[in-house]
Amino acid sequence: MAYRILVFYGSYRSDRTGIRLADYTVRTLHARRFEAELIDAKQVDLPMLDRMYKEYPAGEAPQAMEILADKIREADGFVFVTGEYNWGMQPGLKNLTDHFLEEWSWRPAGIVSYSAGRLGGARSALIWHGTLAEMGMVVISSSVTVGPIAKTLDVNGTPIGDAGQSLERSFARFADDLGWWMEAAKRQKERQPPPY
């Protein structure tokens, strides 16, 4: 069975180097026989959070929100590809994520972070870890940090040099970890429904 993974990316900048990593993530998960789909916050274009999906009467949420809610509910796991802005998380990705709550629960999530500098978005990943756990996801222990991104992936999202080789190694472990947790969650839900 192929597990379905949603890969979320959240930069709204006009020159988005992080899209290289988002594309790499989707392509690499496909090669490992996962069904991966990129969810680009800029393309989904939800408004700044006013009402969460659950706060709309049934059938009255904006169409983009309704479609995304269905995809989130149907997914087996999630990957958040996040840049680091001033030691923090990208506002576009955070805004998209906050529109939903119960839809995320009882599935694993992994964090893939990047930056133009050598820390690879690690500070953003740390913040995301607590946020995703609070929203009901099991955040896997493996993470991927990419930096400097322009020296790790070329414009097509292909790994380059020693940094690219390091990415390939860390991503393999990350994908194995995520796959294990998706299998564990699926089996547990078959054995016993979530308590709430």
CATH of span 4-191: 3.40.50.360
> Residue holding tokens 């078959």?
190
Q: Tell me which DSSP letter residue 47 carries.
A: P
Question: pTM of the entire structure?
Answer: 0.97
How many degrees, rounded to 5, is the angle at CA 181 between CA 179 and CA 184?
Answer: 110
Tens digits of per-residue pLDDT, 150-185?
999 999 999 999 999 999 999 999 999 999 999 999
Taking residues 103-112, report their average pLDDT: 98
The pLDDT score that the predictor gives to residue 54 is: 97
Write the DSSP symbol of residue 57: P
Band of residue 196 on the pLDDT scale cut at 50, 70, 90: confident
Report the alpha-carbon distance of residue 134 to residue 102 in Å, rounded: 11
Of the candidate ranges 14-18, 27-31, 172-176, the one whose mean pLDDT is the lowest: 14-18
Paired tokens of 166: 């390091």
* Mean pLDDT for the stretch of residues 87-105: 96
Cβ–Cβ under 8 Å, residues 20 and 149:
yes
